[in-house]
Amino acid sequence: MKYHAMNMGEVEKEFNTSILDGLTDSEAKKRLEQYGYNELEKHKKQSDLLLFLSQFKDFLVIVLLVAVILSLLLGEYADAITILAIVILNAFLGFFQERKAEKALEALQKLSAPHANVLRDGEWIKVDSRELVPGDVIRFSSGDRIGADVRIFESISLEIEESPLTGESIPVEKTTEPLKEPEPGIGDMKNMAFMGTLVTRGSGKGIVVGTGMKTEMGKISGLMQGTQKIETPLQRRLQQLGKILIVVAAALTILVVLIGIIQDRDFYTMLLTGVSLAVAVIPEGLPAIVTVVLSLGVTRMIKKNAIVRKLPAVETLGTATVICSDKTGTMTQNKMTVTHLWIGGKTWTVDGTGYSPEGAFYHEGSPVEVRKEKMLLQMLTYGMICNHAKIKKKDNEYMLVGSPTEGALLVAAMKAGFDRNELLKEYQIVKEYPFDSTRKMMSMIIEDSAGKQFVIAKGAPDVLTQVSSKMIWDGKEEALTDKLKNALHSAIEELASQALRTMAIAFKEIPANKTVTDVHEVENGLTLIGLQGIIDPPRPEVKSAVEKCKDAGIKTVMITGDHLITAKAIASQLGIHQENSKIIDGKTLAKMSVKELEEIVDEVAVFARVSPEHKLKIVQALQGKGHVVAMTGDGVNDAPAIKAADIGISMGITGSDVAKESSSLILLDDNFATIESAIEEGRNIYENIRKFIRYLLASNVGEMLVMIFAIILALPLPLVPIHILWVNLITDGLPAMALGVDQPEGDVMKSKPRDPKEGIFARGLGWKIISRGLAIGIVTLAAFMVTLHNHPNELEYAQTVAFTTLVMAQLIHVFDCRCEKNIFSRNPFKNQFLVWAVLSSIALMLIVIYIPPLQPIFKTVPIQFADWALIMLMAAIPTFLLGGIDAFIKKNR
Ligand code: ATP
């Protein structure tokens, strides 16, 4: 269909829709059923069978299958069957874990899926882009990704970057008129917007003409890359560790077989021993538990309003040393109200709260009749016309649709009794130059009922001063001399020092015989009317979040487009700015090189009047100083800085699609305090991962050593393969998971950030793994030798005692693993999951020891009561003796 050649009436007819009211809700539902969801076909998921089979690719499984064959050759059929059962169980576990992780990822994708602003039943509402249907009327603005293929009918300086379709990265200016060319290429269809392309400037509206696979993007979707599985640095390091352990396992197997041959032992037994050792060395459960703990952590973070888009962020969060955060909306409430108005040396105040249009005007404390203040009325009406915000009343509450800054100006004018729709009958908008945070102003060309054209501009006062040549003073237009400029600056500073955001309003008449279109020409030679001072109170929870970050060794830096003095006032209220910290403004920043900025960046607490482009420089300078930087942003221009930061953070409510796509963390509530709680969670997850890595690896070291010692001492084997497998997969599994969701030891926000270069075994973890592992190995061997001495010729009994000692030593050790300091410093029963996990592990062990039919399978013999004393004594030694020694050394250091 050639929608580009049709006029809007024809498109409306074609889709049976209206650009004034959109579709009705019921019609949209009907079409959704007819056309299906507006999404591209996904790559087919791996089938269940294939995914299950892929679990057998593991090296461990191969080792175990060798064990099965060996057991069969030795006639140990029960062994063979049990190991095979464990292999299959393991494959099922792996399968379900992978599917679970996939599901978690899909849920995340859904949460961060793009939305569209759509007109239904005459009301603008926000829906998931996948719910768009042909005929929907949608609107989009700078930073949005277009949700479907659209025929544009309104373009306000609309520019769209279409590189996903055309490869051309220069944005295309969009128009609304039907095109004459019969077969234009995609890049030439200037009145169309396509799914997946990005609005880089301005705003627009259009009718959806294609959704899902019927879009231009759908046609080429086969070429698009599928979702990638991203691993965290820790997962990668663990994989490397896994590879090293496999080599160690293989080497040990060969060594043991060689020793066996030298000692003239039975070949098959030694081969089986070698395989047992290999099983002992590899921490089978580790990668799966890491994945599950990470995804559980991510789920917990969602509850705290933080969506992790890229898994590595969970780890990086704990290393952050600086948070650079936007002020407006993130640190403040973004609920703006005009409280002061200033024109030519005279100040008025307005009362009232929020967006309720009720409030009165005062001058020096006494009420004034606004209708008599001519210039004030002019400023209020201009602020209302050059505005896109709307105030709606819902359930007796006034709600804002649009920008809060504009909402404040709108409400101020409503308090004086104006109505925008009424004003627009008198003044017609001819052209608009929309707001962007680099220009920090916007303007409109307006025509009044007499046909006279003029420009209305509003924006940051310091910017408007530069493009104004006159100012209203004493009710008259005066040249903007240095004297008047000084008066204006004092007024700006006076308002800003009360933490008010300031907006200036200016205008100029356009001579009847002249047409101006160039933005520089329009926004020049203006007459400044006055200022409006807007309050935007800080979010109450931010101050304590900033303080918590400070305790945690994390510096908070405020970055804002707002005035330096306003920023300083709010930063001081929030404890970000202190006596000795520096404030830098955008102009100074623009002149500095990254190297120069590096010199002073550690002392800077506030960057004011900056453009989003400057943010990248700030990230680079901080990183140059060795910082790990978290950076927030919401607009298109913020994307490069968000990408460059170690943790890019975007806003869930006000954030543009591009900002969200570049970020690794999305704040669902746009709140600074959420960053702090995400960091806290990130730190905790990392500490918990350390806990169970210690737990699992100490177990492996213990198992390996007990076997090696026995071989060296020419003793019979203390453990058979099935025992080792049992410990690794059954005994250790549940408690390790429980460690993964452990409560933090003390306040994780009271210590300095982790060094990002620090390895997982740092801070004494390696020592603890080896020392506890060695001790577990020794006590297991000791229990085995003592029992063998007391019960000569009862090898299986001694093996059962060794197995039980190993299990109990691990289950006591697990409580020590919760403690970075020492086991005596924490209530061991606080983690209920852990208590239940340990009790279940003990119960399972008792079952395989005492239930007769299981005894031949697990090579166990019921343990006599007296021997439990030996087992418990031995099992307690690694934790309590070494824990005591560690505590003693620490105390005396
Ligand atoms: P941040 O989120 O970075 O703290 P901000 O919202 O203060 O910043 P911008 O949105 O870039 O930053 O606004 C910068 C300045 O531009 C404001 O201080 C204000 O003076 C002016 N401004 C903001 N919104 C508008 C608007 N809709 N029209 C005209 N000027 C505006």
Domain ranges of the chain: 3-42+109-225, 49-107, 284-300+678-891, 306-332+540-670, 337-535
Which of 435, 528, 556, 574 gets mutated to test ligand 1 (max ligand atoms within 8 A of its CB)? 435
Query: Lowest-confidence range among 85-99, 222-236, 462-476, 490-504?
Result: 222-236
* Spatial separation of the C-alpha atoms in residues 514 and 580, rounded to whole Å: 54
839-866 mean pLDDT: 92
The 3-state DSSP class for residue 760 equals coil
pLDDT digits (tens, 9 = 90+) for 745-776: 878 888 899 888 887 888 888 888 999 999 99
Q: Give residue 460's identity as a one-letter amino acid code.
A: A
Average pLDDT over residues 109-126: 82
The CB of 147 under 6 Å from ligand 1? The reply is no
Task: Give the CA count within 13 Å in the CB-facing half-sphere of 496.
Answer: 22
602 touches 531 (CB < 8 A): no
Q: What percent of the chain has pLDDT over 90?
A: 49
Distance 500 CA to ligand 1 centre (A): 12
Q: Is the CB of 441 under 6 A from ligand 1?
A: yes
HSE-CB of 30 using CA atoms within 13 angstroms: 6
Q: Is residue 184 predicted with pLDDT exceeding 50?
A: yes
Beta strands in 121-180 (DSSP E): 123-128, 137-141, 149-161, 172-173
pLDDT at 43 (0 to 100): 57
Calculate how far, in angstroms, residue 404's C-alpha sits from the geometric centre of ligand 1. Answer: 10
Looking at domain 306-332+540-670, its CATH class is alpha beta
Give the residue-averaged pLDDT of 442-454. Answer: 92
pLDDT digits (tens, 9 = 90+) for 590-647: 999 999 999 999 999 999 998 888 899 999 999 999 999 999 998 877 888 998 999 9
| Ligand 1, atom 20: closest residue by C-alpha | 460
Lowest mean pLDDT among 107-111, 117-121, 171-175, 809-813: 107-111
How many A from CA of 342 to the centre of ligand 1?
19
Residue of the CA atom closest to atom 24 of ligand 1: 405
What is the tens place of the pLDDT at every residue in 275-320? Answer: 777 777 877 677 777 877 887 888 888 888 898 887 778 888 889 9
Residue type at position 280: A
- The verdict on the CB of residue 562 being under 6 Å from ligand 1 is yes
**Is any atom of ligand 1 closer than 6 Å to the C-beta of 405?**
yes
pLDDT for 18 beyond 80:
yes
Q: Check: CB of residue 763 under 8 Å from CB of residue 869.
A: no
* Any ligand 1 atom below 6 A from CB of 406: yes
Choose one of 440, 583, 638 to mutate for the ligand 1 pocket test, by most ligand atoms within 8 angstroms of C-beta: 440
Indicate which residue's Cα is closest to atom 3 of ligand 1. Answer: 560
Instruction: Yes or no: say if 816 and 834 are a contact pair by the CB < 8 Å rule.
Output: no
For ligand 1, the distance from its centroid to the CA atom of residue 561, given in whole angstroms, is 6
Please tell me if the domain spanning 3-42+109-225 has the same topology as the one spanning 306-332+540-670.
no
pLDDT at 228: 41
Region 710-724 average pLDDT: 86
- Report the C-alpha gap between 211 and 132 in whole angstroms: 7
Cα–ligand 1 centroid distance for 503 (angstroms): 9
Least confident of 60-64, 590-594, 725-729: 60-64
pLDDT band for position 227 (cuts 50, 70, 90): very low
Q: Whose structure tokens read 């700006």?
A: 492
Cα–Cα distance for residue pair 641/615, rounded to 1 Å: 6
Alpha-carbon torsion, ordered 331, 334, 336, 342, to 10 deg? 50
- Beta bridge partners, 398, equal 393
Q: Express each pLDDT in 342-370 by its tens digit.
A: 999 899 999 988 899 999 999 998 999 98
Task: Give burial (CB, 10 Å; 0-12/13-18/19+) of 543.
Answer: middle
Does the pLDDT value for residue 109 go beyond 70?
A: no
- Three-state SS string over 300-321 comes to HHHHCCEEECCCHHHHHHCCCC
Protein residue closest via CA to atom 11 of ligand 1: 437
CATH fold of 3-42+109-225 reads 2.70.150
Q: Whose CA is nearest to atom 14 of ligand 1?
A: 561
Helix (H) or strand (E) holding 65: helix 59-73
For the chain, the average pLDDT equals 87
Cα separation, 526 vs 351, whole angstroms: 30
Q: Are 700 and 46 in contact (CB under 8 A)?
A: no
Query: Looking at ligand 1, which atom is closest to the CA of residue 461?
Result: 20
Q: Does domain 284-300+678-891 have CATH number 1.20.1110.10?
A: yes
For the Cβ of 205 lying below 6 angstroms from any atom of ligand 1, the answer is no
Residue 636 makes CB contacts below 8 A (sequence gap 6+) with 142, 143, 198, 199, 200, 656, 658, 659
Nearest to 386 by CA among 293, 298, 458: 458
Active site residues: 326
Reported as a single tens digit per residue, the pLDDT across 459-478 is 999 999 999 999 999 888 99
Q: Class assignment of domain 337-535? A: alpha beta
DSSP letters spanning 81-121: HHHHHHHHHHHHHHHHHHHHHHHHHHHHHHHT--EEEEEET
Ligand 1 centre distance from Cα of residue 408 (Å): 13
User: Could you give the CA distance from residue 402 to residue 573 in angstroms, rounded to a whole number?
Assistant: 27
501 lines ligand 1 (CB under 6 A): yes
Can you tell me which residue has the tokens 């069969």?
72
* CA 164, 168, 174, 177 torsion-angle sign: negative
C-alpha 562 to ligand 1 mean position (Å): 6
Sign of the C-alpha dihedral computed for residues 399, 401, 402 and 407 taken in this order:
negative
Count, in order, helices (H) and strands (E) of the chain. 32, 28
The pLDDT confidence band at residue 808, using thresholds 50, 70 and 90, is very high
Q: Which comes out higher in pLDDT, residue 802 or 520?
A: 802
